[in-house]
Structure formats: structure tokens, C-alpha cells
Amino acid sequence: MIDLTSLGDNPVAVLGAGASGQATIAALRASKISVYAWDDNDAGRAAATALGAEVHDFTDEILRQCRFLVVSPGIPTHHPAPHPVVARARALQLRIVCDIDLLWRAAPQATYVAITGTNGKSTTTALIAHILQETGRDMAVGGNLGPAALGLPMLSVGGIYVLELSSYQLELCPAARFDHAVFLNLTPDHQDRYANHADYGKAKCNILRARLDSRAQTAIIGLDTPETSQIFAEQSGLSDRQFIPVSGQERCLSGISVVGRILYDDINNLRFDLTPARTLPGPHNGQNAAAAYATCLQLGLKPAEIVFNILNFPGLAHRQQYVTNIGGVDIVNDSKATNVDAATKALACYDNIYWIGGGKSKGPDFNGLRPFADRIHGAYLIGQAMEPMAEWCRAHKVNHTRSGTLQQALTEALRDAMHDRRRPVTVLLSPACASFDQFKNFEDRGEQFIALAYDLAKQFQSTGP
């Protein structure tokens, strides 16, 4: 747990008592700092009370006593409208932060690696953490992935925090500055939380704010989306950061790239074969591997030890996770693909696909899937987006079934795939939609998919095709 005594004696207000809010309250109380807390849900208020916070619907009088308002990432701060407590705090000129900012204020002596992007940030974060852990570095990983920031251990000089950061967190980090900032890509997402795509991109760009001291700082920027490529071109000559380009599609002659399963280190004039890295399929994962390699180089690791640990990376659940093979059909769980762009990354990796898609749509249409229509031999549609997805399938001559539920979709997809003589053949859950219409979250969706697949595998073993 992070020691927050350096923040002083003033009370702190905490809005939202989910996982990050609870960790924040616990760390503040352990540091003998008084906490006022509020959550719009009864369960959150009960959790805050149990942790020793004074639960109040915040008044101006309470907020004036506080040094910070710590806001959980899921709470709107601008669009479509700020939460009323946020609006009240702004009117009182109270500093509004998130737990990441408090971590940085409490442990400025540590080294910070921050990773953002619309897609791929969890895989890249986990891969960097895996490499550092396997090479014996003093490190902790968390933020938007894994433990909440203030539940991490306190690291001293030489310790490395590896933090996955969402746009929601980055817009609430007024003080935090990161030694090594990784910005993977930028595509439309979270349209319910931003007035436009430019505002979303502006929040992400906060990761590049320069440190104000003399410590070395780098920016590792993916070139595989036009927006991040433009950011690299515009900012690389205007910042104190060293900018390093990475790509999973084309050679970066001044950076790191993975093309055709070969990693090119054009900083040190080296190349490595990544073919054995089966948990990192596709060009998007090539860029993730390039970004992890570039980051670990900047942290002082040797190229060979970085590559060795890329090759033994076990992968991340719900990100193109191989589940099992049933009757010659590979079952792949990519439940984390909660938007169209993420789904295209998975669809690009397989040739003969029986695709399960649908859920709560994040965007106006599914036209980004069009280049992969000829790979989809059957689409099995679920959730609220079933009808617009069916319309897209009709427009692109994709055979499709309105399955409705995940269980029905997997059963029907597997049945049809087993009659397909082409090999390899894959049943792919890559929904291109959020999960909240039928599931708690994408993890719940993926775990239910895995359980259903294992049940079908047992049935196949006992009865045969």
C-alpha cells in the first residue's frame, strides 16, 4: 500500500467507491488522513463506510475542507455532463485528481512507465511487466490493469511502476509526469464520454507531458494509426523527450518494428525471429512487442534478455486467447475486443472464421469490418447490436445467424465449423461491442465463453462428432 503521509493533514474527498476508490480510501486512512466519501450506489457507500470514510453527499462546506477531490475513472468529468460533485468542486477551485496522480505525488523517486492507446495497452503493459519481473527488476504493475494504483507497494529509487492508463485517468493527472510514455494507437472509442474524437485524443496526449526535472524521458509512439503517426511527426522535435517510433506493419529505420515475425532493432542494428511467440499473433501484437522491447531497452535491459522473455510470454486472458480445439476447430476468446477496431485486429489473424459478434455497440456502424468479410464463413450474432450487425452482414453477403445468446452462438458456430473441410478453421469470439447488455464486463463474457467451450469439448470427447 502507498504511504500518502506526504500529502499533509487536510481531509481528502473521494468520489466513487469501486476498486480504485476503495484502494484510495484504504491508503488515505492507513496514512491517518481523514476521508469524506460518496458513491451513488448503496454498495459503494457501504464499502466506503467499512473502510473508515465519513460518507456524505458532498456539500460546499465539506469540499472547502479538502485538499483534493479524487474521482474514480468511471465517473464523467466533462461530457455529456460532469457529475454534480465534480461541477461543484470546479466552482470551488478544488484540485480534481485520480489515484494515479496521488501515487506520483507520494512516490516521485520511482521510475514510471505509462502505457495508453485505444487498443493493445493491456497486452503491452502485461508484456513489459513480464519482462521486468523475469529479469529480476524491482517493479509493480497496475492502474487500469490489475491492482488499483494506491494498492501497489511503495517503491524507492530504482523501483519501476508499470501503469496502464485510460483516457479517463489521464485527464485527471494534473501533476503526474512519466519517465517512459508509450502511446500505441488512437482510433474512435468512448464516444459516450467525449464530445468528439479530438477531445478523446487530447486526453490521451496528456501521457506525453514532459517532466520538469533533468531525468531522461522517452516517448514510444506507434506509427500504425494515422493519428499517432501525426503526433509523432508533430511532437518529436518539440519536446524534451526522446521519441522512438514503433510499428507492427513496416520497418522503422530509427526505431523498433516487427514485420513478418522478425523484430528489427534499428537503434542497435539487430534483428530477432519472433515466430515462436505464439501468444502474440498479428501485426497489432507485433507493434505491442516492439513497444515493449523499446521500453525495456530504455530501462537498461539487454536486447537478448528482452527477446527471450517476449518468446516465453504466456499471453493475456481474453485477448486472442487460445482456449481449446474441438474436432479440428480452434476456439479463440477475444472478448476484450469491445470495439470495431479491436475486432479487426483479431479478424486479420485467421483465414477461415466462424465469428461471434455483438453486444452493446460503441459506434454508429460496423463498416470497419468490411475488409475481413471474405474471411467470415458464418457470423453468429448476440445482444443489443444483433439487428444492426445482421444488416451489415446482409450488405456484405456474410452468412449470419441471429443466435441471441452466447451459448447458442458458440453451439451453432462450432457445429458449422466442424463441417468445414478447410483447415485451419477458427471459432472466434471477437464481439466488436461492449458486454454490458448481457454480462458484467468483458472478463465475465470471456470466462463464460471459455466455460461453454470446455463443456462442448467434454461432450465431443464422450459422444464424438
Residues 342, 243 share a domain: no
Pair (259, 352) in one structural domain: no
Q: Are residues 342 and 218 in the same domain?
A: no
SS3 label, residue 75? coil
370: domain CATH number is 3.90.190.20
Looking at the 3D structure of the chain, how many domains does it have?
Answer: 3
Residues 285, 261 within the same domain: yes
pLDDT in tens, 99-114: 999 999 999 999 999 9
Last residue of a domain, one of 311, 333, 364: 311
Pairing of strands 35-38, 54-55: parallel
Domain CATH code at residue 285:
3.40.1190.10
Q: What is the DSSP letter of 207?
A: G
pTM of the model: 0.83
Report the alpha-carbon distance of residue 142 to residue 462 in Å, rounded: 42
Residue 299 lies in a domain: yes
Helices and strands, counts by H and E, the chain:
15, 20
Domain limits for position 127: 100-311
Last residue of a domain, one of 63, 97, 131: 97
**Amino acid letter, 410:** L
Per-residue pLDDT of 30-59, as tens digits, reads 999 999 999 999 999 999 999 999 998 899
Asked whether residue 63 falls in the same domain as residue 123, the answer is no
Beta bridge partners of 264: 257, 271
CATH of the domain at 43: 3.40.50.720
* CA separation for the pair 319, 123 (Å, rounded): 8
- Judgement on whether residues 300 and 152 belong to the same structural domain of the protein: yes
Q: What is the pLDDT of residues 281-330, one digit of tens each?
A: 889 999 999 999 999 999 999 999 999 999 999 888 999 999 999 999 99
Q: CA distances (Å), 393 to each of 37, 52, 86, 164, 355, in order?
A: 48, 53, 43, 35, 11
User: CA-CA distance, 447 to 441, in Å (whole number)?
Assistant: 10
Same domain, 231 and 149: yes
Do residues 77 and 86 lie in contact, with contact meaning Cβ atoms separated by under 8 Å? yes
Q: What angle do CA 21, 317, 112 make, to 5 degrees?
A: 50
Paired strand residues for 258: 263
Is 91 a domain residue?
yes
**Do residue 352 and residue 300 come from a single domain?**
no
Shared domain for 177 and 249, answered yes or no, is yes
The predicted pLDDT at position 465 comes to 57
DSSP string, 278-290: TTS-HHHHHHHHH
177 and 292 share one domain: yes
Q: pLDDT, tens digit, for every residue of 202-215?
A: 999 999 998 888 78
What CA–CA distance (Å, rounded) separates 341 from 190?
A: 12
| Within a domain: 464 | no
Separation between Cα atoms, residue 177 and residue 208, nearest integer Å = 8
The label of the residue with cell 478544488 reads 94
In a domain, 2, yes or no: no
Last residue of a domain, one of 288, 311, 334: 311
Domain assignment of residue 463, yes or no: no
Amino acid of residue 447: E
Q: 297 in a domain, yes or no?
A: yes
Q: How far apart are CA 340 and CA 284, in angstroms?
A: 14
Residue with cell 472464421: 353
> How large is the average pLDDT for residues 93-104?
97
Cα 284 to chain center, whole Å? 14
Residue 461 clears pLDDT 70, i.e. is over it: yes
| Domain co-membership, 39 together with 87 | yes
What is the Cβ-side half-sphere exposure of residue 159, based on CA atoms within 13 angstroms?
16
Is 1 a member of any domain? no
Interval 359-392: pLDDT, tens:
999 877 899 999 999 999 999 999 999 999 999 9
Asked if 137 and 167 sit in the same domain, the reply is: yes
Is residue 371 in some structural domain?
Answer: yes
Q: Is 321 within 8 Å of 307 (Cβ atoms)?
A: no
Q: Are the CB atoms for 319 and 336 separated by under 8 Å?
A: yes
